[in-house]
Structure 1
């Protein structure tokens, strides 16, 4: 599995219709919804906003797409096929269309939406997907620096700290590192 390494964008005009795509890594449904709302608000006069996404959840992979009023299977489905075929997770690709007055037909729409999405995905690049988990860890004040170094070493993140008799952390860590840190602290 892989995910996007950065934001990717593409813009092309096909038979007077303009297609603009954006590919983004989204860690959860909240971030995904925010991305789609923001993209839609930037392109309020566009005729269609097709999208596809795949998210890894505790229940498995959630995958959905929308053709946004285009003929069934001509907009969101080709985007989903690329995400699925290349094994992307925690990713969303959205494509808006500004209608240019010329009907493209079903084959033309599939090529236009799919091609624009592919360009945005290529620009976004890829990196291996590493599953992350949240972990609560409590430690003494003496071991705070040691724990902080361990979190940095495994490319984790400290989400929250709480101080009382000890120090209580909420961490976001790669799943393998979480097991090691939990055993160590």
Structure 2
């Protein structure tokens, strides 16, 4: 499951036609329509402002528009890119400034999809998981073993504070939490405990950055 965390913009040129893609996170149809109207106002002199958006974790609500392009050459290809990416609650608008050369059906489809991909590449996309925010208080001699277990289980340590003891805060995928608690318990014979702070959705970018979601 993926979401757009930060909107982005990308542009390509094909036979002197400019295709400018804007990518937005959206939570409702009203919000999507507002962004579409905003882009149409900004690019009032463009030939076309085509778009597609999906709402809901199952992408159950879908809308798209060719905005005057030949049917099936713009809106649906943009939608296909969103669906293939696995992103939900996402809107992509592709503005076209006509360059004077007809691209043909295949050329239009490829251009609108290429622009959509370019927009996504310039956005922050997060893979979203259900997790548990947890903490461990341990002595200095235990840090290495705790870090090794976290590394082994692909658990991200968010914060480490060094005082008399070492305080560590981490995010654990919900389905792995029980196993993590057991590993820590076994490794330290019950002398160190994992304390659950709260259930926590979190996202991870392609660069590995972890972001806690509200």
Pair in the same fold by TM > 0.5: yes
Aligned to 1:8: 8
User: Could you tell me how far apart the structure 2 residues matched to 1:85 and 1:56 are?
Assistant: 15
Cα separation, 2, equivalents of 1:127 and 1:7: 12
- The correspondence of residues 1-185 of structure 1 with structure 2, limited to 5 A, is 1-56=1-56, 61-129=60-128, 154=200
CA separation of 1:12 and 1:60: change in aligned 2, threshold 3 A: closer
What is the Cα deviation at residue 128 of structure 1?
2.9
In structure 1, distance between residues paired with 2:118 and 2:89: 18
In 2, the alpha carbon distance for the partners of 1:9 and 1:49 equals: 14
Question: 1:123, CA displacement in angstroms?
Answer: 1.2
Asked if the contact 2:12–2:114 (Cα under 8 Å) also holds between the matched residues in 1, the reply is: no
Contact 1:89 1:129 (C-alpha < 8 Å) held by counterparts: no
> TM-score w.r.t. structure 1 length?
0.67
Structure number with larger C-alpha Rg? 2
The answer for unaligned runs of 5 or more in structure 2 is: 131-196, 202-212
Q: CA separation of 1:99/1:60 partners in 2, compared to 1, >3 Å: closer, same or farther?
A: closer
Please state how far the C-alpha of 1:74 moved relative to its aligned partner. Answer: 0.7
Tell me, in whole angstroms, the C-alpha distance in 1 between the residues paired with 2:76 and 2:128.
23
Identify the structure with bigger relative contact order (alpha carbons < 8 Å, sequence gap 6+): 1
Please, what TM-score do these two structures have when normalized by structure 2?
Answer: 0.59
What's the Cα RMSD here? Answer: 2.5
How far apart in 1 are the matches of 2:22 and 2:90?
Answer: 11
- CA deviation map 1:90-148 (0-9, x unaligned): 000000111111000011101111101110011113113479xxxxxxxxxxxxxxxxx
Shift of 1:154: 4.3
Q: Quote how far apart the aligned CAs of 1:30 are.
A: 1.8
- Structure 2 distance, partners of 1:41, 1:130, is 37
1:13-66 CA-partner distances (Å, limit 9, x unpaired): 211111111011011112111111111111001111110100018x97201111
Change (3 A) 1:60 1:67: closer
